[in-house]
Amino acid sequence: MATKPRFRNDAQDASADTEDQKHPVDETLPPLRMFTSGLQHVAAMYAGVVAPPLIVGAAVGLSGSELTFLTGASLFTAGLATFLQTLGIWKIGARLPFVNGVTFAGVAPMLAIVDTTDDKADALPIIFGAIIVAGVLGFIAAPYFSKLVRFFPPVVTGTVITLIGVSLLPVAFGWAQGPNPAAKDYGSTTYLTLAAITLVVVLVLRRFTRGFLKQIAVLVGLVIGTLIAIPFGVTDFSPVTEASVVGFPSPFHFGAPQFALAAIISMCVVMLVSMTESTADMLALGEIVERPADEKTIAAGLRADTLGSAISPLFNGFMCSAFAQNIGLVAMTKIRSRFVVACGGGVLVLMGLSPVAASLISVVPRPVLGGAGVVLFGSVAASGIQTLVKAGLEKDNNVLIVAVSLAVGIIPITVPEFYHAFPETAKIILDSGISTGCVAAVLLNLVFNHLGRRGDEDTVTAPMEPGEEISETRGAKAAHVH
């Protein structure tokens, strides 16, 4: 039976074309799916957000209630920074599915500031003042720093992405062994069994389920792992019963910011390290969501990081940076919508405003997080390997770049005391395998593939031009770059 041809007017054609061209990063999902997927991001990064304030707060000598306040403030400011990064305003925000939170790179310098402060009551105000200055200076430097993107071809980005995953895996292994490294039961068979069960649950869900359930496999795995942990006496519900329902992180709760030159210099160094790692993270995520991060995107993302850091101390929070562990979640679930992560930012804000809500996530035992972390962080490393596949590893130069850069980046992971004789300021950079491996990859790529290169040589990996996408077709263009 013949069918009538279907005609559309110009307006309908334009509307359809616009819809067809909508990138998955800019798509919105149904409310329930949006919320649960966002909650999954929060669960993946919760431990990383609360650890720095707990460590620094304990060093300052805060009471239990003050520690809870400082933790809630970090959750609140992480949510605000995530809004800046995902939703964006003006030229601020990468508008990628990025979660922002307290950077661990600042823990050691902040502890050093605490140790050198005579009156511990002044320690937090001095730290907050230094972060404000570092954030403002970083915001100003963001567009200039972003120009480094041209030195991140696939051989560099693949190496860095792999290092991000490899650097995070020890965190998962540490979680799997228990909450307290000093405890006698640290690394016990009970903890490791719970981690293994959680890992198996996630894998089974990913293998034998479809659709929505498959996409929230990590969240379901965390819930099941927590329930299984109850009979073992590992799950602690006391944070829920002791937490208040409502609490706002009042501005400058610990006193007005103070500005000490040594502290400011220290936090500025941390900001440079954080910006380097954020650049690598944005390049990694851009590859995963198939929207390569160009110079403009990285500049906007760095502005969000640095502005979030400058605002954070107002509400008693610390320096903010993109969280690499959530890249693994995006890679695994294939949910690329930035609005999902923005929803997770909303959850973080609500947790910061409601200590009892924040305590619900803290109920998840550390070994259960460790089991899920193996999948999440391993997925990041796998994404890096996928990028390296198209980086021209048939060329000896590129093999050497990857080999040496990975070796340099793995040093702080395998031999943590390797740089013990170096000054504390230098160790801020050297103790970050992501930063050292990234710098090594960029420098080696310049030395092997560009300096003194003859025009008749074989095609090699070339620096990207700002805005250029990473693709397999870049090889032809690379031959013409000098």
Confidence of residue 128 (pLDDT cuts 50, 70, 90): very high
pLDDT recorded at residue 14: 41
- Cα–Cα distance measured from residue 130 to residue 278, given in angstroms and rounded to the nearest whole number: 20
18 has a pLDDT exceeding 60:
no
Do residues 359 and 239 lie in contact, with contact meaning Cβ atoms separated by under 8 Å? Answer: yes
Per-residue DSSP letter, 231: G
At residue 193, what is the residue type? T
* Residue length of the chain: 482
**258-278: b or e for each residue (b if 16 or more CB lie within 10 Å)?**
bebeebbebbbbbbbbbbbbb
132 has a pLDDT exceeding 90:
yes
Do residues 130 and 266 lie in contact, with contact meaning Cβ atoms separated by under 8 Å? Answer: yes
Mean pLDDT along residues 224-240 = 84
141-157 pLDDT, tens digit each: 998 888 876 777 788 87
- Closest by CA to 249, choosing from 103, 104, 348, is 348
Confidence of residue 134 (pLDDT cuts 50, 70, 90): very high
DSSP lists the bridge partners of residue 100 as 322
Q: What percent of the chain stands above pLDDT 90?
A: 12
- Residues near 458 by Cβ (< 8 Å), separated by ≥ 6? 395
Q: Which two tokens stand for residue 236?
A: 């602690």
9 has a pLDDT exceeding 80:
no
- Closest by CA to 179, choosing from 137, 236, 241, is 236
SS3 446: helix
User: What is the signed CA dihedral for 318, 319, 320, 323, rounded to 10 degrees?
Assistant: -100
Q: Supply the DSSP string of 322-388, one letter for each residue.
A: E-THHHHHHHHH----HHHHHHHHHHHHHHHH-HHHHHHHHTS-HHHHHHHHHHHHHHHHHHHHHHH
178 has a pLDDT exceeding 70:
yes
- Cα–Cα distance measured from residue 186 to residue 75, given in angstroms and rounded to the nearest whole number: 27
- Residues near 467 by Cβ (< 8 Å), separated by ≥ 6? 294, 295, 296
180 has a pLDDT exceeding 50:
yes
Mean pLDDT along residues 50-72 = 76
- Cα–Cα distance measured from residue 166 to residue 433, given in angstroms and rounded to the nearest whole number: 9
409-413: Cβ within 8 A, 24+ apart: 409/159, 409/163, 409/166, 409/167, 409/433, 409/434, 409/436, 409/437, 409/438, 409/440, 410/163, 410/166, 410/437, 411/436, 412/167, 412/436, 413/166, 413/167, 413/170
At residue 459, what is the residue type? T
Q: Which range (162-166, 180-184, 331-335, 472-476) has the least confidence? A: 472-476
Q: What percent of the chain stands above pLDDT 70?
A: 83
Mean pLDDT along residues 385-405 = 85
**439-454: b or e for each residue (b if 16 or more CB lie within 10 Å)?**
bbbbebbeebbeeeee
473 has a pLDDT exceeding 50:
no
Spell out the alpha helix ranges (H) of 209-324. Answer: 211-215, 217-229, 238-242, 261-288, 295-311
- Cα–Cα distance measured from residue 189 to residue 173, given in angstroms and rounded to the nearest whole number: 13
Please provide the average confidence, as pLDDT, over all residues in the chain.
79
- Closest by CA to 102, choosing from 68, 61, 143, 70, is 70
